[in-house]
Amino acid sequence: MGEQRTDTPPADDVVVRPLRKGQERRGAPADAPVARRGQRGEERRQDLLHSLRAAGEPLLGVELARQFGVSRQALVQDMAILRAAGSDIMATPRGYLLRNPAPVTQRDVLHVRHDRAAIADEMTILVDLGIRILDVAIDHPIFGPLRADLHITSRQDVYEVIERLDATGSAPLFELTDGTHSHTVESPRPDLLDRARQELDRRGFLVLSDDSHG
């Protein structure tokens, strides 16, 4: 008798058969994010991780690749980077599975106002609490909402942003709105967001959302 193979094929080797009309496809959760071609790699990987956490069951590699608008090779590379960063992702015959998933992070929008000199202080308050700063956004009176990705997670990231601004002589986005702007943030716990608001308020940075346009 020939030698019998016992290794488990990776998730991307799973054969997916076409579904009959009305049959629900297993895998991606109902609230999965819409695919965005050209999405930044780090943002896409965090969204992949979020999908795996939310699913609680294996997700097919072909489905994830379609969902995020990338090739299967790019998806495999994303999974390798996530594993290297410490995420315990398994490749099973039924798809990718996050073992012992951590609770889904809390996401919120913080509205703040300050001048250029306070950029480091404001961001440091957040990252020191373990809060990820995903973006910066303003509501311009003529051009409407304007947004830029940041993905700042540490003091080093904050310093690098300041260095780039200084080296290029660029103005921060919020100078178009007299210092008023907002950040979409993610926190591992809701109480940390409460602490962030308290500290931002104590420093005079926090503004109420309905005041954030003036």
Mean pLDDT of 26-47: 58
pLDDT at 214: 42
Whether residue 197 is contained in a domain is answered as yes
Chain-wide mean pLDDT for the chain? 81
Domain shared by 80 and 54, yes or no: yes
Whether residue 130 is contained in a domain is answered as yes
Domain shared by 128 and 162, yes or no: yes
Instruction: Tell me if the pTM is above 0.85.
Output: no
**Of 160, 102, 106, the residue nearest 129 (C-alpha):** 106
Report yes or no: 58 and 89 within 8 Å, Cβ to Cβ.
no
CATH number of the domain encompassing residue 52: 1.10.10.10
Domain range spanning residue 93? 34-98
pLDDT at 15: 38
Mean pLDDT of 43-72: 88
Domain shared by 53 and 75, yes or no: yes
- The amino acid that residue 51 corresponds to is S
Whether residue 68 is contained in a domain is answered as yes
pLDDT at 164 over 80: yes
pLDDT at 209: 64
pLDDT digits (tens, 9 = 90+) for 103-161: 557 889 999 999 999 999 999 999 999 999 999 999 999 999 999 989 899 999 999 99
Whether residue 72 is contained in a domain is answered as yes
Picking from 26-30, 56-60, 77-81, 115-119, which range would have the lowest pLDDT averaged per residue?
26-30
Domain shared by 112 and 66, yes or no: no
Whether residue 28 is contained in a domain is answered as no
Domain shared by 78 and 117, yes or no: no
Grade residue 49 by pLDDT with cuts at 50, 70 and 90: confident
What phi and psi values does residue 146 have, to the nearest 5 degrees? -125, 135
pLDDT at 212 over 80: no
Looking at the chain, the whole-number percentage of residues with pLDDT higher than 90 is 54
Domain shared by 79 and 133, yes or no: no
Q: Specify the number of domains making up the chain.
A: 2
Looking at the chain, the whole-number percentage of residues with pLDDT higher than 70 is 77
Sort residue 96 into left (φ over 0), alpha (ψ -120 to 50) or beta. Answer: beta
Mean pLDDT of 154-178: 94
Give DSSP secondary structure letters for 55-98.
Answer: H-S-B-HHHHHHHHT--HHHHHHHHHHHHHTT--EEEETTEEEE
